[in-house]
Amino acid sequence: MHPDQLRVTREVSVAELNQKYRQEQNPRVKMRLQMLLRIRDGASARQVAREHHCSHVTVARWIHRFNEQGFVGLADHSRSGRPPKVTPEQFEQALAHPPAHYDYPLPAWTPRAVRVLLDEQFGIKYRLASIYKVIRRCGFALISPRPRHYRQRPKAVEAFKKK
Percent of the chain clearing pLDDT 90 (strictly above): 44
57/94 same-domain check: no
pLDDT single digits (tens) 119-134: 999 999 999 999 998 8
Instruction: Tell me if 111 is assigned to some domain.
Output: yes
Using the Cα atoms of residue 145, residue 147, residue 148 and residue 150 in order, give the sign of their dihedral.
positive
Cβ-contact 66, 36 below 8 angstroms? yes
Residue 62's domain comprises 3-74
Can you tell me the distance from the alpha carbon of 56 to that of 45, in angstroms, rounded to the nearest whole number? 5
pLDDT single digits (tens) 45-67: 999 999 999 999 999 999 999 99
55/118 same-domain check: no
Q: How confident is the model at residue 149 (pLDDT cuts 50, 70, 90)?
A: confident
Q: Which of 74, 97, 121 is the last residue of a domain?
A: 74
Length of the chain: 163
Task: Check residues 16 and 163 and name the one with the higher pLDDT.
Answer: 16
What Cα–Cα distance (Å) separates residue 163 from each residue in 73, 151, 157? 66, 21, 10
Instruction: Tell me if 63 is assigned to some domain.
Output: yes
Give 3-state DSSP helix, strand, coil % of the chain, rounded to 5. 60, 0, 40
Can you tell me the distance from the alpha carbon of 58 to that of 19, in angstroms, rounded to the nearest whole number? 23
Instruction: Tell me if 45 is assigned to some domain.
Output: yes
Cβ-contact 54, 31 below 8 angstroms? no
What's the pLDDT at 2? 55
If one counts the domains in the chain, the total is 2
Which is nearest to 12 in space by CA: 59, 64, 71, 62? 71
Q: How far is CA 140 from the centre of its chain?
A: 18
Q: What is the pTM of this model?
A: 0.53
Instruction: Tell me if 19 is assigned to some domain.
Output: yes
